[in-house]
């Protein structure tokens, strides 16, 4: 079976490539720049440049059975004031380029198109109800809107073709070489900065006790391999989770424990923390730390006949160990 991974040089793509090669898949990949990824074992490596302007998909996909689309414009947690412009930037890459690729896959006779979306298409909090495969769209940010629009466009393409489409919606992915906020959290705990956690207020799951779903990198790649091999409907929307449910406070405590560090956590009133967030332009990021975002991936696990290959604690330990060895 021949698989193409777009963004094979990325955090998820690089690990997924290794996993698929271990299971004897023939894997090709796309990169923006050849210097970003030297793939000695890759069946074929295609340099696309800016994926939003690449138009040679029919030729690239001529002998491909499965496409796993990871390439895209990453989530910027602090969006600029000109949100309409930011949304258009996201759309060019995350929506338009995705749909151009998908149409090229249809024209080339690709059997299944697997799109890595985001749990954010359903919203950024689950105060009232945990997200599952039947949750409705409710994106709150430009990034999530562009991902939702790509999903809707893929559904239309699938309806007019024989290509199967699988939408995968992961929450935060953690593991060795984790980028973004997870890496920043590791660094903060490592250098020993006290981390302010707001005092609980009489609100649903107030303070930093709000649970958030996550999934380890190895578990996600194991699940993605199942989306290649398992029989599925023509169009599937799958939320994913491996049972990692931690509050920010719990996560900080575990990271400190695995690093052999003393926990540096103190409490402050929430309004002070919010005021500080506003002062440094991070009010939305601070707010997100205080709200729950939980995912029920049990139906997806049943559909794919999948179970996690590592425990959440082992995944977190692996991420911490990698950080300490490579900082």
**277 neighbors 283 (Cβ within 8 angstroms):** yes
Annotated catalytic residue 143: yes
- Using CA atoms, how far residue 320 sits from 57, 171, 177, 182, in Å, is 39, 19, 9, 10
Q: Give CA–CA dist 107/58, Å, rounded.
A: 6
Q: How far is CA 67 from CA 9, 28, 116, 152, 206, in A?
A: 15, 10, 11, 18, 41
> In a 10 Å sphere around its CB, with 0-12 CB exposed, 13-18 middle and 19+ buried, how is residue 160 labelled?
exposed
Of 143, 174, 258, 323, which is the active-site residue? 143
Contact 120, 171 (CB under 8 A): no
CA-to-CA dists, residue 166 to 29, 69, 146, 260, 280, angstroms: 19, 10, 17, 41, 40
Yes or no: say if 85 and 138 are a contact pair by the CB < 8 Å rule: no
Question: What is the set of active-site residues?
Answer: 143
């Amino acid at each position: 079976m021949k698989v193409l991974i777009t963004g094979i040089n990325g955090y998820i793509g690089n690990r997924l490539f290794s996993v698929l090669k271990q299971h004897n898949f023939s894997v090709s990949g796309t990169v923006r720049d050849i210097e970003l990824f030297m793939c000695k074992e890759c069946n074929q490596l295609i340099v696309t440049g800016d994926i939003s302007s690449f138009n040679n998909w029919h030729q690239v996909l001529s002998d491909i059975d499965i496409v796993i689309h990871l390439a895209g414009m990453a989530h910027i947690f602090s969006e600029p004031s000109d949100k309409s412009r930011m949304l258009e930037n996201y759309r060019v890459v995350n929506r338009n380029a995705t749909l151009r690729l998908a149409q090229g896959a249809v024209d080339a006779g690709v059997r299944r198109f697997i799109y890595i979306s985001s749990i954010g298409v359903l919203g950024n909090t689950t105060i009232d109800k945990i997200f599952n495969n039947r949750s409705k769209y409710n994106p709150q940010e430009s990034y999530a809107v562009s991902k939702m629009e790509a999903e809707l466009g893929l559904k239309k393409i699938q309806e007019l073709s024989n290509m199967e489409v699988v939408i995968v919606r992961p929450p935060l992915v953690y593991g060795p070489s984790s980028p973004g906020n997870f890496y920043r959290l590791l660094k903060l705990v490592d250098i020993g900065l006290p981390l302010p956690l707001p005092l609980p207020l009489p609100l649903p799951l107030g303070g930093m006790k709000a649970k958030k779903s996550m999934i380890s990198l190895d578990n996600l790649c194991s699940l993605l391999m199942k989306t290649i091999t398992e029989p599925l409907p023509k169009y599937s929307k799958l939320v994913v989770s491996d049972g990692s449910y931690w509050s920010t406070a719990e996560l900080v405590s575990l990271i400190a424990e695995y690093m052999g560090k003393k926990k540096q956590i103190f409490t402050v009133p929430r309004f002070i923390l919010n005021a500080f967030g506003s002062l440094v332009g991070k009010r939305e990021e601070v707010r997100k730390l205080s709200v729950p975002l939980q995912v029920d991936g049990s139906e997806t696990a049943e559909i794919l006949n999948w179970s996690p290959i590592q425990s959440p604690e082992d995944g977190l330990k692996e991420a911490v160990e990698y950080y300490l060895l490579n900082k």
